[in-house]
Structure 1
Amino acid sequence: NTISKVYRQLEIDGVVEAMAGSGIYVRDQQKPRDIKLPPGPRGRSLPDIDREVRQSVDGLLNAGCTLQQARDLLTREIDWRLRCGARVLVSTPREDIGASMLIAEELTPQLEVPVEVVPMEELDAVLESSNNGTVVTSRYFLQPVEAIAQQHGVRAVAVDLNDFRHELDMLKELREGSCVGLVSISPGILRAAEVILHSMRGNQLLVMTANPDVSSRLLGLLRAASHVLCDRPSLALVEQTLRQNRSQLMRLPVVHCAQSYLGSATIDALRKEIGLLQS
């Protein structure tokens, strides 16, 4: 059970020791000891765990807790964090499930826990069956997603998107009258990108958008645009459509694929939130 896991981890860290046939005892903290590093390539020097533990316990005692209450509080918090780190559910409304797919695509290779895409309309039922895990969404949808998660005692975390500085700098340099094509599996991203482009360049650029699955709209965009910006999941269909229709195109557009959807620091922040070791 969870308490056994906590004691086992404390024993590994040298805070307590198990005596066969006798029980579990707190080690003499005045005696020097070796701290066992986590296994694998992420093993690294750790802070003074004894001091951190003592300060945490002292803080609870100073707040008026008994030792038993302090243990219960710490065990409950550790248990909750273990549940939060069991899996990641990426959730946005079904109409913009593409945003969830983009987030999940980048999180999956970076996290050592299962990552699942769940439409917001189904999130309540999924958490009802099992409330282990952390729900991740974009800041646009945090409020409704958080309201659902809180009903099940589950944490909801918003991830920050890439600032797309390189792409925006490129668009600033395009000559007036250029046609720009935006291709994404996320309708929300397309709408936001249109607004940003209009705020930057007004009516100086003609902007077209397409979901890669709508082949006729995608082909029309590729025929008209001089520059095409797309996300990674869309790139294969963009390139395939260009190859298949090369004879119909007077010129090939310049295609730029945005390599990152999430901000550079947000994945590390999420790893810390769910209790994973830092890269």
Structure 2
Amino acid sequence: MVDFQIKADSDIPASNQLFNQIRFAIASGQFPPGHRLPSTRQLAMQTGLHRNTISKVYRQLEDTGLVEAQAGSGIYVKTQGHKWVSKLKSPIFDKYPNASNIVKRSLDELLSQGCSLNEAREMFLIQIDWRLRCSARVLVTAPSYDLGIGQLMAQELEQALNISVQLVPLEELGEIIDQVSCGTVVTSRYFIGRAEEIAAPKSVRVIPVDIYDYGKEFQLLHTLPKGSYCGLVSLSSGLLRAAEVIIHSLRGNDVIVMTAQDTETHKINAMVRSARIIVCDKFSFDIVKAILQKNRENIIRPPQIICIENYIVTDSINLLKRELGLA
């Protein structure tokens, strides 16, 4: 069971703390699709929160499309993203209405066993052809208020997959999809509900990626002395906000969190002079390192810089390789 921690004396409402922690557990794969969330009674015992507060958080999670309530059973992480949209146009699928689902399930099983798309082509020609055509156009989407997280995913995928990736604001996704005959939309589970809602009527598939859980970094955070400064640098403003709330939930006011996007050099300048550790994504690392080097003569104790090499976990990268025919 994930260890949720709530700071009762915080300025951040307890429900907001719990909501962010559960949403992170889902997005990072700690609560995978189909996972049953703890009961309100279990969470009340663990966090000390009233069950009504926990019920409110679960309703918020339902509203965002991350979980669904099953009558008499509990709250479960939705399995969206695994039911990809498949609108194939062929007489054979008109003749056998259930054939598309049968072929899809069989192909997924072959891929999981290491079969390549070319090896399966003769058996599933129409489905394979559709997937390959989707693979020719890969779109990464994120809300316009946090395109930084989209940039993080897009740059990482381009490096890992060695393909061209187009970043599209979530608000413009429908318009872009209308301009292509097929494609693959990639996003994090934070935004999967809205992405699938937009893509559902289209001939595209939506694939969610799981994100790094930052387990080692959270362990290091627990070792920081009281009053320490912790710096966070990223392309994504949303990632910084979520991390700040979660860190506050873990350490309260014992650790002072400083955040900056990669373009906010004045904040990073102050950070390298004060922070004990600085955690950054790999696309911000060179900037942080250069600013630290520039200020080194004026720093008594340089901060430890921790570079997060991957925002997207390896399993998700490998899944995309298989689905895009790159494995």
Q: Shared fold (TM-score greater than 0.5)? A: yes
Selected match of 1:169 from 219, 232, 244: 219
- Select the residue among 126, 129, 142 that pairs with 1:79: 129
- Change over 3 Å in CA distance of 1:117–1:127 after alignment to 2: same
Structure 2 partner of 1:13: none
1:179 and 2:244 matched = no
**Aligned residue for 1:30?**
none
Q: 1:240 aligned to 2:290?
A: yes
Partner of 1:97: 147
Q: Look up the equivalent residue of 1:140 and give its one-letter code.
A: Y
Q: Which has the higher contact order (CA 8 A, sep 6+)?
A: 2
Q: Residue 270 in 1 paired to residue 320 in 2?
A: yes
The equivalent residue for 2:252 is 202
In structure 2, which of residues 195, 218, 226 is the aligned counterpart of residue 145 of structure 1?
195
Q: Given the alignment of the two structures, is residue 88 of structure 1 paired with residue 138 of structure 2, yes or no? A: yes
Q: Structure 2: which 5+ residue stretches go unaligned?
A: 1-88, 91-113
The Cα of 1:248 is off from its aligned counterpart by: 4.1
Q: 2:23 maps to what in 1? A: none
Deviation at 1:247, TM superposition (A): 4.1
Q: 1:228 to 1:209 in 2, by over 3 A?
A: same
Residue matched to 2:166: 116
Q: Give the superposition deviation at 1:100.
A: 1.3
Counterparts of 1:225 and 1:139, CA distance in 2? 31
Give me the whole-angstrom Cα distance separating, in 1, the residues matched to 2:200 and 2:245. 32
Deviation by residue 1:84-113 (Cα, 9 ceiling, x = unmatched): 211211110122111111112221133254
- Cα separation, 1, equivalents of 2:326 and 2:283: 28
Task: Report the Cα distance in structure 2 between the residues aligned to 1:268 and 1:210, rounded to whole angstroms.
Answer: 31
Write the letter of the residue equivalent to 2:156.
Answer: E
CA shift in 2, pair 1:267/1:147, >3 Å:
same
Give 2:261's aligned residue: 211
* Deviation, structure 1 residue 203: 2.2
Query: What pairs up with 1:61-76 in 2 under 5 angstroms?
Result: 76=126
- 1:255 aligns with 305
Which residue identity lines up with residue 226 of structure 2 in the other structure?
A: E
- Any idea what the Cα deviations from partners look like across 1:236-264, whole Å, max 9, x if unmatched? 11112122233443432111111111112
1:160 aligns with 2:160: no
CA contact (8 A) 1:86 1:113 kept: no
| Whole-angstrom distance in 1 between the partners of 2:254 and 2:309 | 26
Q: Number of residues paired by the alignment?
A: 213
Deviation at 1:138, TM superposition (A): 0.7
Give the SS at the match of 2:218: helix
| Percent of matched pairs sharing the same residue | 41
1:71 aligned partner: none
AA matched with 1:176: K
1:176 aligned counterpart, secondary structure = coil
Contact between 1:167 and 1:258, CA under 8 Å: does it hold in 2? no
Note if 1:127 corresponds to 2:177.
yes
Take 1:163 and 1:45, find their aligned partners in 2: how far apart are those partners?
A: 29
Taking structure 1 as the reference length, the TM-score comes to: 0.69
Instruction: Give yes or no for contact 2:182–2:203 (8 Å, CA) kept in 1.
Output: no
Gaps of 5+ in 1: 4-43, 54-73
Instruction: Name the stretch that deviates more: 217-226 or 152-161.
Output: 217-226
**Is 1:192 paired with 2:245?**
no
Partner of 2:79: none
Give the superposition deviation at 1:183: 0.6
| Residue 158 of structure 1: how far off its partner (Å) | 0.9
Tell me what 1:25 maps to: none
TM-score w.r.t. the length of structure 2 is 0.59
**What letter corresponds to residue 135 of structure 1 in structure 2?**
V
Per-residue deviation, residues 126-184 of structure 1 (Å, max 9, x unmatched): 21221332000111111112222223221111100011222122112112221101111
Contact preservation (8 Å) 1:183, 1:211? yes
The aligned residue for residue 228 of structure 1 is 278
AA paired with 1:131? S
1:75 Cα deviation (Å)?
5.2
